[in-house]
Structure 1
Amino acid sequence: MTQSLSDLTQQMLDVARRAGADAADAIAVDGTSVSINVRAGSLEQADRSEGIEIGLRVLVGQRQACVSSSDTKPDTLAQMAERAVAMAKEAPEDPYAGLADPAQLATQTDSATLEMYDPSEEPDPATLQQDALRAEAAALANAGVSQVQSASAGYSRRRIHLAATNGFSAGYARSERGLSCVAISGTGTGMERDYDYDSRIFQSDLRDADDIGRTAAARAVERVGARKPATGAFPVLFDERVANALIGSLLQATNGTTIARGSGWLRDKLGEQVLPKGLSLVEDPHRKRTSGSRLFDAEGLPTARRAIVDDGVLTGWTMDLSTSRQLDMPSTANAARGTSAPPSPSVTNVALTQGAQSRDDLIRQMGTGLLVTSMIGSTINPNTGDYSRGASGFWVENGEITYPVNECTVAGNLRDMLMTIIPANDARTYLSRVVPSLLVEGLTLAGD
């Protein structure tokens, strides 16, 4: 494609105006992705995709509509705009729809400072395949591993540009390099599996393929002989790999869309204690080399660091312009969007205060209970916070891991659970969600 994304989005705005739109915004995404999967020492699957996707939102008064396409020819753009305007005229009025005021728009838009894009050459498919084969071989070198379910390596890059009739126009680029391995131990009905993976923006930061394969294998072998745990009320330690899901439930309950609808189990908790004193949950969209970083949101507003929970107290909601207007509060500049839908609120990078103790320290502290390393399924009541999930991991007796467990259910209420959490100090700080292992008191386990 010879036309720049900036020119393309401006062309979309021009045709929207000509078609009768009062206002409009446009997004263009030019992307490439490569994925290599190996199995039993041979290439199993190779995928590559590349292309451009565009999206246009038009506003006619307080009515809006969105259209998208992968065709960027001028005639197609004109047809898109005409369809969008016709759709908007038939849509119901939305008193909260609208673009940002020009005075609200971000002025710092050079995203190169965030280091979200690795400028090095795209890896050759043969290099990706070799990485995946190395991970598989390292896993199979463990005598306890019966097979490797999958070993994969991938690369992707995207260039994104946003523009609107209020004068905003800016773009950025993202890249990602990933590697994963899933190992299986045992045979027949005694099979157990576990995994390891890494995903980074810069190739130079990616963990070694051998290390990923060895870790996946060791985790799978540790699970040999898993059985159901006891039923009753016990402390539960959520391993760092899964603890993020607990904080994700809190973030979902503080999303402006949920609150604007009058739902969510935290809807009446603004300004109240939702985490233990001393713990904060901070969003920082400006962390370098982190996948969720951005200088501006999907509506062109400047992003900023903020505490969603400060010293245990819930301080605010996650909002875009529409939800902020509904709630009569300033936007938190958290709008995100794809090509086929209007903006909606979404968090960027978040970090929970880490504790002073290691995961092993918390295992000793919990006495008898469950260490959860994997979760499946989910039943969470969005209005009450009632929580139930399938889990597997390790049973702890007298502060020591005694045997692996599977096929159990962990249940409680998120309000109560989050008020008792004790964080470890093992969070991976390069992730977009930095959440350590979390010890939770008094959950209900359903096992035998």
Structure 2
Amino acid sequence: MTQNLSDLTESLIDAARRAGADAADAIAIRDDSQSIEVLKGKLEHAERSEGTEAGLRVFVDGRQASISASDTRPAMIDTLAQRAVAMARIAPEDPHAMIAPAEMLARTTEATALDLVDTARPDPAALEAMALEAEEAALAVSGVAQTQASGAAASYRDMHLATSNGFSGGYARTGYSLSTVAISGEGLSMERDYFGDSRTHLSDLMSAGEIGRRAGERAVERAGATKPPTGRYPVLYDERVSATLIGHLVAAFNGASVARGASWLKDAMGEQVLPKGLDLIEDPHRARTTGSRPFDAEGLATRRHVWVQDGQLTGWTLDLGTASKMGLESTASAARGLSGGPSPSVGNLALTQGGQSREQLLSDMGTGLLITSMIGSSINSTTGDYSRGASGFWVENGQISHPVNECTVAGNLRDMLMTIRPANDARTHLSRVVPSLLVEGLTIAGA
């Protein structure tokens, strides 16, 4: 019989009280996922995962400890709670560790309006058929020599959170994905690229044929890649990688980093961090979006935030503990896993889109680099110094000239972000809605 997650979390909290905890919270997650990979027209790998796990956090005399387990049988509940309390008794004091006061807790945990659950349950044969169709479409593109992998996956995830002062709520979400990696050329001249799609509802997923075709076309476009010249040039981050650039900004206004003094934005509250006219908005209530949730990992009701308004930084992302350290209030941004306490995080984000297409920005940049793929990362979180490996296409006179690889782009994030110009090509179904971004000048290390 399927274990009731609400009952499980309440049992953990009751056991924590019996073991001597002053307060506690518990989270339980049930996951049911399956994935299929095919290669050369045959099944290459199949995986199925199904189970329930739980995490318990206890508070004893100003100290806290967390414990997690995949064995959630009733006979183990008391044992887990006793271990957690014993750990807390020897933990260092933490004046900022707490559960949310009752008056701060979300009054409703309803997630129906978010439309995060699809009733579709494709079996392994259906997933295999999708992957095979995507592979076939990629191989049908002239110039594609082979595929590296084609995979399809489906998942159902249910979670429940409860606290010792009365909060109890949960929600579920489904996920479906399909992707293909295609290869052009042979030997040392091989180039690979990919395309994929991921949705909360199966009916929204792009067709397998379209996914395979795009992967194949991307791989063929990369044939004959060479190193770009070394120098300082404008760089256009393609929409498929532009969210990584904004991700560095988000990491810098994370309250945990700011509280430690380990952020290049630690003194930038109210200052210009993006060009005027640009907003960065978090909306945790977008329907059918992977980053949506009705409440955070401490039971606080999530809400819309404008983190950057007209280019100015307006706040830090905060959970209860981080907010306490900074003398502020939580922004209901807590996220957590099963084995540790909460930390600040953001979900759905959208950057203001521009009025020009990617092609128009290419024309404006003249000569420079269009980045479509990135590897590695060297980011100094304190200074904002930035260096990443990249590949993509060289642009001459506003037109794509030829593919390039094995280069590094470097600069300082504070300076880079102040020059960005967004295109209008962001895919609005993604959790991070960020268009292609033109950065005025970066140092490129190539040939």
**TM-score normalised according to structure 2 size:** 0.99
Q: Deviations over 1:4-35 (max 9, x none)?
A: 11111101100000000000000010111100
The alpha carbon displacement at 1:108 in A equals 2.0
Partner of 1:364: 363
- For the residues of structure 2 that align with 1:280 and 1:61, how far apart are their CA atoms? 43
> Secondary structure of 1:272's partner?
coil
Partner of 1:62: 62
- For the residues of structure 2 that align with 1:115 and 1:251, how far apart are their CA atoms? 26
- For the residues of structure 1 that align with 2:93 and 2:306, how far apart are their CA atoms? 34
Does 1:346 find its partner at 2:345?
yes
Partner of 2:255: 256
Superposed counterparts of 1:9-24, under 5 Å: 9-24=9-24
- For the residues of structure 1 that align with 2:66 and 2:75, how far apart are their CA atoms? 18
The alpha carbon displacement at 1:431 in A equals 0.5
- For the residues of structure 2 that align with 1:444 and 1:255, how far apart are their CA atoms? 27
> Secondary structure of 1:216's partner?
helix
Q: Deviations over 1:252-272 (max 9, x none)?
A: 111111011112111010000
Partner of 1:35: 35
Structure 2, unpaired ranges of 5+: none
Structure 1, unpaired ranges of 5+: none
Partner of 2:51: 51
> Secondary structure of 2:298's partner?
coil
The alpha carbon displacement at 1:248 in A equals 0.4
- For the residues of structure 1 that align with 2:365 and 2:108, how far apart are their CA atoms? 48
> Secondary structure of 2:362's partner?
helix
The alpha carbon displacement at 1:2 in A equals 3.7
- For the residues of structure 1 that align with 2:49 and 2:107, how far apart are their CA atoms? 34
Superposed counterparts of 1:227-246, under 5 Å: 227-246=226-245
> Secondary structure of 1:294's partner?
coil
Partner of 1:411: 410
- For the residues of structure 2 that align with 1:270 and 1:384, how far apart are their CA atoms? 16
Does 1:285 find its partner at 2:284?
yes
- For the residues of structure 2 that align with 1:61 and 1:177, how far apart are their CA atoms? 45
> Secondary structure of 2:109's partner?
coil
**Alignment-mate amino acid for residue 119 of structure 2:** P
Partner of 2:89: 89
- For the residues of structure 1 that align with 2:45 and 2:61, how far apart are their CA atoms? 49
Partner of 1:150: 149
The alpha carbon displacement at 1:119 in A equals 2.1
Does 1:99 find its partner at 2:99?
yes
- For the residues of structure 2 that align with 1:381 and 1:262, how far apart are their CA atoms? 13
- For the residues of structure 1 that align with 2:262 and 2:426, how far apart are their CA atoms? 31
Superposed counterparts of 1:105-184, under 5 Å: 105-120=105-120, 122-184=121-183
**Alignment-mate amino acid for residue 395 of structure 1:** W
Moved over 2 A (4+): none
Partner of 1:199: 198
> Secondary structure of 1:100's partner?
coil
Does 1:330 find its partner at 2:324?
no
**Alignment-mate amino acid for residue 324 of structure 1:** A
The alpha carbon displacement at 1:178 in A equals 0.3
The alpha carbon displacement at 1:275 in A equals 0.1
**Alignment-mate amino acid for residue 55 of structure 1:** G
Partner of 1:294: 293
> Secondary structure of 1:127's partner?
helix
The alpha carbon displacement at 1:407 in A equals 0.5
**Alignment-mate amino acid for residue 157 of structure 1:** Y
- For the residues of structure 2 that align with 1:224 and 1:290, how far apart are their CA atoms? 35
Q: Deviations over 1:73-95 (max 9, x none)?
A: 22211000000000000000001
**TM-score normalised according to structure 1 size:** 0.99
- For the residues of structure 2 that align with 1:390 and 1:3, how far apart are their CA atoms? 46
**Alignment-mate amino acid for residue 89 of structure 1:** R
The alpha carbon displacement at 1:295 in A equals 1.1
**Alignment-mate amino acid for residue 20 of structure 2:** G
**Alignment-mate amino acid for residue 435 of structure 2:** P
How many matched pairs?
A: 447
Q: Deviations over 1:190-232 (max 9, x none)?
A: 0000000000000000000000000000000000110011111
